[in-house]
Structure formats: structure tokens, C-alpha cells
């Protein structure tokens, strides 16, 4: 099965153009995609587009177009004045870590589902302790990955998703200092690069 990337561009008249394109390769921050007659018609060199791949979406600029298109990816929104999009990546098993949330003065360990510079999601087996997260700013820290060593701040519950009878996903918004934000951003960028390059 082909490795597909969704490409999005807003056209004149507020029309959304969406194409599923085969990822040909990823090299030095650039994604090479196949082209189609409509892509050739609507996507121009210099255009700002959005790419969705696996679980994340990234903005980028089309920097080349011929038999394929080349999109220079903006990790975490670089290159777009005033924009700070925060891509969210799934935490891969081989690069996992623990999130410790302070509940009733005790840090409890949770497995993250995904993370971004703006927040994270955790899984819970049941709803027994959900009320302890409601309307609270909880201290948190990340343990278990050297590149995230020292990341800490506060987390606030912003979403609850019941995925099944014994499966909950809780989404948190985080407030961290610049050093922690940079470590998370680098973790996310490195994860994106690994996923795009297939390593």
C-alpha cells in the first residue's frame, strides 16, 4: 500500500482543495509528492499548503514543481509570520515516556497517547478518577526520556473522550517555561522527521 499524504489548500472563493498524494521521499525538511492534473492546476510554486500525514498536520510551502511537487515543511509553524501551529504526534512505543500528574499532593504516572508543544493526551482504563482532573490546574512532569528531562509545568483538562467501556482519553492543555517548550518542540520535530523518513 502506498504511503499517502493529504494535501490541503484554500482556493479563491473559500473553496478547500484536498488531494491524497503518494509520498515519494522525504529529504532535509522537504517532502516530495506525486502530482495529478488537478494538483498541477491548483498548486503553484510558492503556495502555502497543509500536509496531513499519519496523525499530524503541518504547514509548508511549495518550493518546487515538475513531475512531482516539493513541499518545504514548517515544523511547529516556522516561516509563517504570526502563526504558531503546534503539531501533535502519537507517542511511539520505542520513544515512550511517562507523564506524572500531581493529584492530591501525590504524583501519579500516566501513559501518554500523544503530545504537542501545547498539550498532551493520556489514557485511563476507567472513569473513577476523572473528577480529580476537573477544573484543576495540575502540576506535571515528564520522566523516562533523556531529551525531555526536566520538562514540567501545569496542565489543565480540556477534553474527555470515552472510546469504549474501559477506555478514556483525556486531553490537557499545558503551560510550560521556554526551556520545557523547546524540549517538547524538538521531541515533536524529531518524531515527525523519523515518521516522514520512515526510520
For the chain, the structural domain boundaries read 4-77, 89-197
pLDDT in tens, 24-81: 999 888 999 999 999 999 999 999 999 988 878 888 899 999 889 999 887 654 444 3
| Overall fold of domain 4-77 | Thrombin, subunit H (2.40.10)
Q: How many CB atoms lie within 10 A of CB 188?
A: 21
pTM: 0.79
Tell me: the pLDDT tens digits for 88-139?
888 988 889 999 999 999 999 999 999 988 899 999 887 788 888 888 899 9
Residue of 60, 52, 34 lying closest to 195 (CA atoms): 52
One fold for 4-77 and 89-197: yes
pLDDT over threshold 60, residue 149: yes
Rounded CA separation 163/183 (Å): 30
Q: How many CB atoms lie within 10 A of CB 168?
A: 18
User: Of 66, 85, 87, nearest to 77 (Cα)?
Assistant: 85
| pLDDT for residue 163 is more than 90 | no
Contact, 59 vs 85, CB < 8 A? yes
- CA separation for the pair 138, 133 (Å, rounded): 8
Kindly report the backbone phi and psi dihedral angles of residue 71, in degrees, each rounded to the nearest multiple of 5, phi listed first.
Answer: -115, 120
Cell numbers at 146, concatenated: 533523556
CA angle 86, 179, 111 (to 5 degrees): 60
Which ranges constitute the DSSP H helices of the chain?
37-42, 178-197
Q: In what order do the strands lie in the sheet with 167-176?
A: 89-90, 112-116, 119-124, 167-176, 152-164, 137-143, 98-103, 106-110
Output DSSP code: residue 77.
G
**What CATH code is assigned to 89-197?**
2.40.10.220
User: Coil, strand, or helix at residue 124?
Assistant: strand
Nearest of 70, 81, 74 to residue 35 by alpha carbon: 70
Amino acid at each position: 500500500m502506498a504511503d499517502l499524504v493529504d494535501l490541503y489548500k484554500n482556493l479563491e472563493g473559500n473553496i478547500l482543495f484536498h488531494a491524497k498524494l503518494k509520498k515519494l521521499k522525504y529529504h532535509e525538511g522537504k517532502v516530495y509528492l506525486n502530482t495529478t492534473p488537478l494538483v498541477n492546476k491548483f498548486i503553484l510554486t510558492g503556495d502555502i499548503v497543509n500536509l496531513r500525514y499519519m496523525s499530524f498536520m503541518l504547514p509548508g510551502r511549495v518550493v518546487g514543481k515538475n513531475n512531482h511537487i516539493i513541499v518545504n515543511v514548517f515544523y511547529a509553524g516556522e516561516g509563517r509570520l504570526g502563526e504558531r501551529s503546534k503539531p501533535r504526534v502519537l507517542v511511539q512505543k520505542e520513544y515512550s515516556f511517562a507523564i506524572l500528574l500531581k493529584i492530591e499532593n501525590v504524583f501519579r504516572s500516566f501513559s501518554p497517547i500523544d503530545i504537542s508543544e501545547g498539550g498532551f493526551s493520556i489514557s485511563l482504563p476507567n472513569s473513577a478518577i476523572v473528577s480529580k482532573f476537573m477544573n484543576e490546574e495540575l502540576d506535571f512532569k515528564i520522566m523516562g526520556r533523556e531529551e525531555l528531562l526536566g520538562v514540567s509545568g501545569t496542565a489543565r483538562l480540556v477534553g474527555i473522550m470515552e472510546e469504549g467501556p474501559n477506555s478514556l482519553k483525556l486531553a490537557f492543555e499545558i503551560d510550560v517555561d521556554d526551556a520545557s517548550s523547546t524540549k517538547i518542540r524538538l521531541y515533536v520535530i524529531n518524531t515527525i522527521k523519523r515518521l516522514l523518513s520512515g526510520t
